[in-house]
Structure 1
Amino acid sequence: MSDDSAGRHGPTEGFHRERSQPLPPERSPRSGRVTVPSPAARRRRTGLLLVSALSVLVLFASGTSWALTGWMSGALNRFDVFGGLSEEDRPEPTGGLTFLVIGSDSRDSISQEAQEDLSVGHTPGQRSDSMMLVRLNHDRDRVTVVGIPRDLWVDVPGHGPDKVNAAYGLGGPQLAVRTVESLTDVRIDHYVEVDFQGFVNVVDALGGIEVCLPEPIRDPKAQLDMAAGTHHVDGAEALAFSRTRATSRGDLDRIERQQQVLSAMLDKAMSTETLSNPAKLTDFVNSALSSVTVDEGLDTRTINDLAYQMRDLSMDSVTFTQVPLSDTEYWTPHGNVALLWDEPAARELFAAIQADKPIADPSQESGKGSEPRPGDIRVQVFNGSGAPGLGARLDGTLASSGFQVTAPAQNWSSSNVSTTQVRHGSGDRAEAEYLAEMIPGAETVEDGTLNGELQIVIGFNYTAFEAPKSEDTAPKGEPSSGGGSTAVSTARENICG
């Protein structure tokens, strides 16, 4: 939850999480020494367990022994999430399992020094920093992860309209579950929560992960300065990468980065490097459990059953999407900006999840011949006319129209360009022609040094930029002001490279 809106609710009292302290397998007199199975045996017995990291589920392999699985279950913090909920008001259960995953931004258990190191601020109280709905289908061979933007404007049961993450601050896990169930009409079967420090520990225990950026991010508040490209990040850097909203689409970009981080963690956790190293696997499991809270129903037997049922799940079986939106700039009665969901599209999405149907990718449905859209186009402006400030003004117009402006405008190698050019690589002709139509008198020029990015060179004949209609500005598969389709990707597709 953002500090400017959620903080007014104050801390929530009355949460009591029982923490057990079992011994790890290698120290337990009943389990004896941990024996790591052969690679073949691990492949047969490897189960994927659900734990949380930054309010998203990390699916990791548990293939050392069933004793280790039992230890993991006993080490989890537990909270009676569903005890106070009325069955009459809840959606009907189905054969699939749905997890509500909350990333808590509580700083209460983090030292002031750690708060400063992680750049998470000092705001007291309990809040949800991010939220995801994770669906494991009836056959246990497919997982669907739906990102729920924390600024989504909803009706919080018993409290009225508010941002969805206010539910956690007002009534803890129970009210968060009630709110999401009433919003989606999908029954929540299990609850998983993690805090900042737990997420950092998990990434560090994995030895860091790789993330990649199409454009640079600079967020002084989060102490984040990352150039475009691929980066190997540790836990603190991964946290800043996942939490920053210092990009053009704010929380929506943040959800996509969180999905990328989750995919990278999943890939690293399932790798042979992690599974075949007992010390590394134990360190990873210890870190994953240190700050995780689950519902009381996730007991040892349930975890064992899930581990066995999900043993053949792969990176291609985990699909990500987010709630379809109709308005990303809704001014609330509280005087701040929130998001409105596209109700027909969202209802269709959640009905498919409840029915265990695969989520369709709208970008694939639209076909490859679709007209380019601003959100798909990367562009940099160069001023070849010599007119001061013209490039910066065009930068602003392009950004407000939804184009990806990759760098601030610069002067061209000469200041006597007569005709405005839209320069492009051999594979980007359609995008260049689309953009040139918005600049009266502009011509397209193929440039073999360019690949995936356009350049506008302002000439003497430049008069104006005619912005496209608003419904054309969103990237394919992403929400525009009047549409609600959202992008769909698998965990494998989200991994860098």
Structure 2
Amino acid sequence: MSDRPPEGPRRGAPTPEFRRIRSSPTPPGDGPPGDRSSAGPRAPFLPPPAVRRKRLLLLVASTLSVAVLLASGTAWAFSGWMSGKLNRSDVFGGLLQGDRPESGPEGALNFLVIGSDSRDGLTSEEQSELGVGGNVGQRADTMMLVHVNSDRDRVEVVALPRDSWVDIPEHGPNKINASYAFGGPSLAVRTVESATDVRIDHYVEVDFSGFVDVVDTLDGIEVCLSQPITDPKADLDMAAGTHRVGGTEALAFARTRKTAGGDFDRIDRQQQVMSALLDKAMSTDTLSDPGRFTDFLDTALSSVTVDNGLDTATINQLGNELRTVGLDDVSFTQVPVAEANYRTPEGASAVQWDTEAAGDLFSRLSEDRPIAEEDSDEEKEREKDDAADSPRPRDVRVKVFNGMGQPGLGSQVRSKLREAGFASPTKARNWKNTDVTTTLVRHAPERKDQAELVSRALPGSELVEDDTLGEGVQVVLGAEHSTVDTTAPTATPEDGNRDHGTDTARDNVCGS
């Protein structure tokens, strides 16, 4: 912890009233987009050429709304209009600096991104249409840590399950999303910093209706399902396969927990939605159409609340620094979990983190190291020796490919293998062709024992040795695939353990 002198009120003092302050936009030129005065038809608002030429970047790949903060190469007037449209909150003013984690390496930035489930401002009809109910008060429906590295060539998003059981300062143990209900953004920041020992530099919040409007402004996004989902409460009924969805259905898709994996499946779907939004926002169709581009900016900006530190100069600087970031440079993961159904003293179900693995993940963030950083040669050798003795499913990293073309099959088999205890951190992909007959379990020579373990869970599969392969085992599903044997003697799942491998935004885009 820092030994810097405290700033702001001491703990225990009355908590100041939480208020959002909406800045008054100062438009460039004659007026902002959407100014439809009686003086005549509105002249089309065109961002500077540099903005139209360069791709829109996502600082927080967790939500499209934040992409507007990083429109690269922006002229000062345009950035000033952008900054003026944002809602602002004094998130850090009351925090005691001496009680906060140390800052990371110079230039690295950490954002706390929250999706708020506030129903404020929504009519009963709108609440029903969005399938969000009429709960009073606010909680953080989604919480994520977003890390922007000091070299500005990598963005990493870590999902924090909203039911994570943590200590909330001055309130005691509770689910992490309760921190927002108890004390707004400031207490949410304090809680996340306390639980992760990662210093938060900026805060971003997006609300329900804003998310829906942003998706609709982009004419919808594409999502894909390995299994059907039916959630009457959210008015969601989707078959397996690929779907183009508008804002309301995208919100229901991202929020429902009506699947076997509950909140963990929900996090996977949210990351898929974020990736689809990023892909759509950075597409030529969006950036080359001035009307769509400015409508998107106007809609996204109005749905976002940020801390006071994200001023015009900061936004403009970040935009220029991150102009080369693409889908392959944005990574998603979630906190490693030891117990997914922990029973609290009150008997509620919560999520307990894997203390050691989570500590390693957060150390990487605070030290500005890649979250998917490869182990040292010494660590690899030790893991190899351990695996050679008696490989366990959780030690085997499996990548699944669909070699028969049946939509959703790869995702289904990946889920079953994870149920059997195998680690499969990346989403299933299509194989280079779709005429594979027998399911293949491909492996490097030194991974034969691991491949045999996987093969036992896939009756009728065939081992294929490939000395060009490195870590892990590849499964290529063939037409003769029938089932995954999750009861194989040595394939006993670890109780509640969840692998925290990473996917890139491109991995999450349907059809990639």
Q: How does 1:92-241 map to 2 (within 5 A)?
A: 92-94=102-104, 95=106, 96-241=108-253
Does residue 402 (structure 1) correspond to residue 419 (structure 2)? The answer is: yes
Change (3 A) 1:315 1:378: closer
Q: What is the aligned partner in structure 2 of residue 67 from structure 1?
A: 77
* In 2: Cα distance, 1:284 partner to 1:155 partner: 38
The residue type paired with residue 84 of structure 1 is G
* In 2: Cα distance, 1:137 partner to 1:360 partner: 13
Q: How does 1:345-494 map to 2 (within 5 A)?
A: 345-360=357-372, 402=419, 426-430=437-441, 444=460, 451=478, 454-455=481-482, 467-468=487-488, 472-473=492-493, 480-481=494-495, 483=497, 485-494=499-508
Q: What is the aligned partner in structure 1 of residue 21 from structure 2?
A: 18
Alpha-carbon shift at residue 205 of structure 1 (Å):
0.8
Change (3 A) 1:119 1:400: farther
Change (3 A) 1:36 1:196: closer
The residue type paired with residue 455 of structure 1 is S
Which residue, out of 60, 70, 81, partners 2:91? 81
Alpha-carbon shift at residue 147 of structure 1 (Å):
0.3
The residue type paired with residue 21 of structure 2 is E
Q: Could you say what the CA RMSD is over the residues aligned between the two structures, in angstroms? A: 3.9
* In 2: Cα distance, 1:223 partner to 1:93 partner: 44
Change (3 A) 1:310 1:304: same
SS of the equivalent of 1:48 reads coil
Does residue 292 (structure 1) correspond to residue 307 (structure 2)? The answer is: no
- Runs of 5+ consecutive residues of structure 1 not aligned to the other structure: 1-11, 380-397, 405-423, 458-464, 474-479
- Do the aligned partners of 1:427 and 1:452 also contact (CA within 8 Å) in 2? yes
1:361-385 deviation per Cα after TM superposition (whole angstroms, max 9, x unaligned):
789x899x98878998899xxxxxx
Alpha-carbon shift at residue 56 of structure 1 (Å):
8.4
Percent identity of the aligned residues? 54
SS of the equivalent of 2:419 reads coil
Question: Normalising by the residue count of structure 1, what TM-score does the alignment of the two structures yield?
Answer: 0.76
* In 2: Cα distance, 1:486 partner to 1:119 partner: 30
Change (3 A) 1:351 1:453: farther
Change (3 A) 1:77 1:456: closer
* In 1: Cα distance, 2:193 partner to 2:486 partner: 44
SS of the equivalent of 1:455 reads coil
Q: What is the aligned partner in structure 1 of residue 57 from structure 2?
A: 48
- Do the aligned partners of 1:17 and 1:77 also contact (CA within 8 Å) in 2? yes
* In 1: Cα distance, 2:482 partner to 2:22 partner: 58
Q: What is the aligned partner in structure 2 of residue 7 from structure 1?
A: none
The residue type paired with residue 18 of structure 1 is I
Which residue, out of 333, 341, 345, partners 2:353? 341
Alpha-carbon shift at residue 68 of structure 1 (Å):
2.3
- Do the aligned partners of 2:46 and 2:294 also contact (CA within 8 Å) in 1? no
Change (3 A) 1:117 1:332: same
* In 1: Cα distance, 2:486 partner to 2:140 partner: 41
Aligned residues: 428
- Do the aligned partners of 2:57 and 2:326 also contact (CA within 8 Å) in 1? no
* In 1: Cα distance, 2:26 partner to 2:122 partner: 24
Moved more, 96-105 or 50-59: 50-59
Alpha-carbon shift at residue 483 of structure 1 (Å):
4.5
Question: Normalising by the residue count of structure 2, what TM-score does the alignment of the two structures yield?
Answer: 0.74
* In 2: Cα distance, 1:13 partner to 1:220 partner: 40
* In 1: Cα distance, 2:138 partner to 2:194 partner: 22
Q: What is the aligned partner in structure 2 of residue 391 from structure 1?
A: none
